[in-house]
Amino acid sequence: MSLKTIFQEGMKERRRRKSLGRMSSELNEKEKAHDGLLTALGRKAWESKTDTSMFAELHASLRETQRTLDDLRTQSEQLQKQKQENEERRKQENDRLAGAQKQAEEKKREVDQRLEEQKSLLQAAQKESQQSRSRLGIIAGERGQLQSKIASPEAGEAEKSEWQQRLDLLAKEEEALQAGIHARDEAGKPVSARVASLQEESGQEQKQLDALRQEQKRINSELDKKISALKSELDQNGVKVREAETKQKGDFRLLGEKLAATQGGDPGLSGERTAVAAARSEMEGMQALIGGLERQKEETQVSAYKKMMTIIIGAIVLLAALAVALILLLAPKKKASPLAVAGPGQEGAQRMEQLAQAMQKGMEGIKAESEKIQGGKISIAAEGVMKSALPVVGGWQMQEPRYGRSAYGEMETASLEADYAAADGRSVRVHITDAGTASALLAGLKMILAMNIRIDNPEAFQQVTTIKDTPVVERLDKKDGDASIGIIFKDRYLVELKTHDAGGLELLRQFAAKLDLSKLP
């Protein structure tokens, strides 16, 4: 079988498989719609009290399920009512206790204000009495000094008379100070009594306020427990209701299926019966089409399809290897002739020289085609520009990217590689290659990607999909767990993301979505 025949017959098988897959999906949707119509028929028959006694077991099951649902819904209503009552009670109690606390706080504030006023009066009197007592001490000292002077034999009569007058004045001042102290002490007794009384009253108000707060805490705790228990019962009841509804829905479907198969019946169900019959007719038509496609299966086309897929997979691998080889070829080398690796002997050197000349012509053609595709002269992307396209992903630390430019003959490329690490040990590598004047080599890859081939076998999973409207190739090696995503951007840049993470493809999709490829020229 020629290559052309392989692809012709293989594409026929591919179109048959795509049509079969599409019709199978449509059949699944129609089967779901048919089930829904059967359920609607059974529900209407039950709710309209159509006679279903001929289906005794199903009738009994529906009746029992309905009774269970009614009981559960009644319980739910009662539980909801109790929950609302307790919530309302909690609100009322909080409002009542908050009001009582406010009154107690205001009363205590008034008592404390009066207490501070009386304390201020008492402290002022005490301060004044303390000043008087201090003055009395000074007077006692002054009196002793004057008496000593008067008793001195050297003192004259005039001096003694003056000092005696001063003693008389000190005696009068002392008497006045003592009288003032006594008067303030007497006046301070009722103030002290009022201070003690107000202190006791303030303490009682504080106790009442504390008691109100404790009561509020206790009531809230009790009611919160009741409300939480009721909510838990409601949740459990809801689970039972959903289980019963699921069972009822299944019984409705069975009832609808039996009614649809029964001739005659309630005329009020004719609309639902007609809808079921139409859906069944559509399903049968779809099944017939699927059967036709199944019968169209030819071993020749199946064999051609397998060979075509093998060729395509091989082409992808070959082109990937070509890209890698290109990078290696253009990698910086020591200043030595490429012929130095040709091996010993003049004949080997001549063959390598001929090969080099042929490669040179091929490179010139590739450069010309690349510039034609890109629409003009190609300037290799600078390091800073390529770095700006790298993703920034939260929770991942990017190591310093590695940038390199390579040239050989007419070909020039650049590459940037960055490794990302997470705290849990996972890693991702992002590699961006600017194919530059060799970008025409990517055309083959792009052509294969356009075919939207999907592969899923025990060894690997591979598909073409899109991320942010950009076509990408996703591949997962099921044996070693390696995952990769490849992107061709602007017919020039080859972007590859790799990881060995358990959820590799999903992780790489997150990284690919963070790429800012619009920064690339």
> Is 155 exposed, middle or buried, given 0-12, 13-18 or 19+ CB atoms closer than 10 A?
middle
pLDDT tier at 182, thresholds 50, 70, 90: very high
Mean pLDDT over the full length of the chain: 84
Instruction: Pick the more confident residue, 361 or 195.
Output: 195
C-alpha to C-alpha distance for 270 and 263, rounded to whole angstroms: 11
Instruction: Please tell me what DSSP assigns to residue 401.
Output: P
Interval 33-50 mean pLDDT: 90
Interval 217-226 mean pLDDT: 94
Instruction: Pick the more confident residue, 235 or 305.
Output: 235
Strand partners, 89: none
Q: What is the pLDDT of residue 386?
A: 93
The most confident of 69-78, 306-315, 462-471, 476-485, by mean pLDDT: 69-78
- The domain ranges of the chain are 88-227, 378-519
Strand 411-422 relative to strand 483-489: parallel, antiparallel, unpaired?
unpaired
End-to-end CA distance of the chain: 45
C-alpha to C-alpha distance for 37 and 34, rounded to whole angstroms: 5
Instruction: Pick the more confident residue, 23 or 408.
Output: 23
Interval 182-190 mean pLDDT: 90
> Considering the domain 378-519 in this protein, what is its CATH number?
3.40.1000
pLDDT at 103 over 60: yes
Length of the chain: 521
Vertex 310 angle, CA 309 and 314, to 5°: 115
Q: What is the pLDDT of residue 356?
A: 46
Structure confidence by residue, pLDDT tens digits, 380-394:
889 999 999 999 998
pLDDT at 133 over 70: yes
CA 126 from chain centre, in angstroms, equals: 69
Structure confidence by residue, pLDDT tens digits, 427-438:
999 999 988 877
pLDDT tier at 330, thresholds 50, 70, 90: very low
pLDDT at 521 over 90: no
Strand partners, 427: 421
C-alpha to C-alpha distance for 248 and 46, rounded to whole angstroms: 11
C-alpha to C-alpha distance for 36 and 213, rounded to whole angstroms: 58
- Residues contacting residue 349 through CB under 8 Å, at least 6 positions apart: 339, 342
Instruction: Pick the more confident residue, 372 or 44.
Output: 44
Interval 282-298 mean pLDDT: 89
pLDDT at 97 over 90: yes
C-alpha to C-alpha distance for 375 and 391, rounded to whole angstroms: 28
- Candidates 511, 451, 455, 520; CA nearest to 484 is 511
pLDDT at 322 over 70: no
C-alpha to C-alpha distance for 493 and 487, rounded to whole angstroms: 8
Q: What is the pLDDT of residue 250?
A: 94
Lowest average pLDDT, out of 174-183, 210-219, 343-352, 467-476, goes to 343-352
pLDDT at 216 over 90: yes
Instruction: Pick the more confident residue, 453 or 485.
Output: 485
Instruction: Pick the more confident residue, 311 or 254.
Output: 254
pLDDT tier at 350, thresholds 50, 70, 90: low
In words, the CATH class of domain 88-227 is: mainly alpha
Over pLDDT 70: what percentage of the chain?
A: 85
Q: What is the pLDDT of residue 16?
A: 87
Q: What is this structure's pTM?
A: 0.47
Lowest average pLDDT, out of 258-262, 305-309, 511-515, goes to 305-309
Interval 154-174 mean pLDDT: 89
C-alpha to C-alpha distance for 185 and 430, rounded to whole angstroms: 92
Distance of CA 238 to CAs 85, 87, 376, Å?
Answer: 20, 20, 69
Over pLDDT 90: what percentage of the chain?
A: 46
Q: How many CB atoms lie within 10 A of CB 83?
A: 18
